[in-house]
Structure 1
Amino acid sequence: MARPPGHGPGYEVKRQEIIDTAAALFAEKGYAATGITEIGDTVGLAKGALYYYIKSKENLLVEIQERVLDPLLAVAAKIQDLAAPPTIKLRLLSEELLNLIFERLDHIWVYEHDYRQLTGANLTRMLERRHEFENIVRSLLTDAMEDGTFRKSDPTLAMLQFLNMHNHTYQWVKPGQQWDAKFLSKTYCATLFNGFADGKCDLAALESAVEAYKI
């Protein structure tokens, strides 16, 4: 979001700090249970001063959602445009999604749990953006079915399988543990792709090709 006219560079630094703080508090306590006064107290601002940086509590939730969706949709669009087989695109998208989960665990928690707290146009827009990402995953899975790599099946169910395996990682993953995003992506995709291809997916060839397409 662009800096409003008249605000100095320190304004944006503080605003980003407020969003970070809100994400951590919402992830710990839930959006509904976190008051605007508590957010202000944590960042050292009275309620009136806090509203100088944010429009509303709901706007903080919008900002957190966008911090997840903006990079996710941007990288998904780039991957979708690659001149690569759909399985490679899916593997790349898998790793990028997991990288985002590792980098923004508190944001992902809020993204998954609290988006229904949005109202009106905010909720409509966020649902549309979520569906945009789901449609990219579905289209890549459909491509893999149409080129014979995966067996024909319901692409929506396949999309849900793909996303459910990835999206729930935030509930148990701990940064710095033995499993990083790349390892989990390889493992998840091996499980999913073998299932989608009835055990006939050449995973070794897939992994040898993935690095060449990384963006």
Structure 2
Amino acid sequence: MHAASAVPNSDETAAQAERRQEILEVAAQLFAERGYKATSIRQIADAAGMMAGSLYYHIQSKESLFVEIHNRALDAAASRIFSAIAPHPSPWARLQAACVELLDIQLSLTSITLPLMNSIISAPPDVRSALIKKRDEFEAIFRNIIDDLPLPPTIDRDIYRILLLRVLNTASDWYRSGRMSHDQIAEQIFTIFKHQDLSDTDARTSTRAGSRAATAPGRSKVARRGGRPQHAP
């Protein structure tokens, strides 16, 4: 046999790539529905219409398959969020756009991002460490946006980020369709989390009030005598 004959042609390579993509899609759906621990290689193979042994021709292990699917889901979500925030120079506008996009991702009926992220707990320790690393990379998008926000110094930015992401990432648990759209709910969440430095606001208010008092008509000619205003002689 010539050495060249052992090299797969382009049609075989394309067919293998297509078959592997089918496996990834089937496995992603099973992982999202059942979680990492409750999904077996045999179930993935059955859903893909192949023998369990044949599945290993396309994948290394259940663990590596889950990590790849999880990372692809987060990469796709990150790409959507980066595209959403790109047109906005203001940190608050970027945060608003990121909130709208992430909420839409998590509430989408076809989204597997949240279920895969929730499966971290049931994954083996070595797999979990890889998943957490990828999740931290994803959350860095929000970390960078929040670091640029003009928040009051009394607000801890890490706690702020954790609370915001917890609300967005658990939206499917409390959301009920009908009264408000995804965008309207995202707007409400953003409005609640939008903070101003109240000390600066109070200082500006006091300055404006003092300026108005100093320039009010006739104020400099009025004296108080016996508790009632009188014109000075």
The TM-score, its normalising length taken from structure 1, stands at 0.72
Shift of 1:167: 0.3
Query: How many Å separate the matches in 2 of 1:106 and 1:78?
Result: 20
Pairing 1:19–2:24 present = yes
- Larger RCO of the pair (alpha carbons < 8 Å, separation 6+): 1
Aligned mates of 2:172, 2:69 — CA distance in 1: 15
Deviations 1:167-203 (A, max 9, x none): 00133557x866543223212112222xx3379xxxx
Q: Which moved more, 1:45-54 or 1:100-109?
A: 100-109
Structure 1 unmatched ranges of 5 or more: 200-215
- Spell out, residue by residue over 1:22-44, the C-alpha distance to the aligned partner (whole angstroms, 9 max, x if none): 22222332211221111111111
Equivalent residue pairs, number: 187
**Equivalence for 1:182:** 183
**Of 11, 14, 19, which residue of structure 2 is paired with 1:9?**
14
Within a 5 Å distance, the mapping from 1:139-154 to structure 2 comes to: 139-145=144-150, 150-152=151-153, 153-154=155-156
Task: Provide the alpha-carbon RMSD of the alignment.
Answer: 2.9
Tell me what 1:171 maps to.
Answer: 173
Change in Cα spacing, 1:181 to 1:86, as seen in structure 2 (3 Å) is: same
Tell me the SS of whatever aligns to 1:105: coil
For residue 45 of structure 1, give the secondary structure of its aligned residue in structure 2.
coil
Q: Which range is displaced more, 36-45 or 163-172?
A: 163-172
CA-to-aligned-CA distance 1:110-169 (integer Å, 9 cap, x gap): 22223661553x544432332223233123223212xxxx32210000001110110001
Map 1:41-120 onto structure 2 (within 5 A): 41-77=46-82, 84-103=89-108, 104-114=110-120, 117=123, 119-120=125-126
**1:32 equivalent in structure 2:** 37
AA paired with 2:190?
C
Q: Provide, for residues 77-98 of structure 1, a one-character-per-residue CA deviation record: whole Å limited to 9, x for no partner.
A: 5566656111100011112212
CA distance in 2, matches of 1:61, 1:128: 14
Higher helix residue share: 1
- Closer/same/farther in 2, CA of residues 83 and 102 from structure 1, 3 Å limit: closer
The one of 131, 134, 140 equivalent to 1:129 is 134
Report the equivalent of 2:3.
none
1:171 & 1:12 partners in 2: Cα distance? Answer: 36
Q: Which of these two proteins has the greater Rg computed from alpha carbons?
A: 2
Contact 2:74 2:113 in 1 (8 A): no
Which residue is equivalent to 2:196? Answer: 197
SS of 2:60's equivalent in the other structure is coil
Instruction: Tell whether the 8 Å contact from 1:138 to 1:159 is kept in structure 2 after alignment.
Output: yes
Identity of aligned residues (%): 27
Distance between the aligned counterparts of 2:85 and 2:174, measured in 1?
29
Assess if the C-alpha contact under 8 Å between 1:137 and 1:159 holds in 2: yes
* Equivalent position amino acid for 2:54 in 1: A
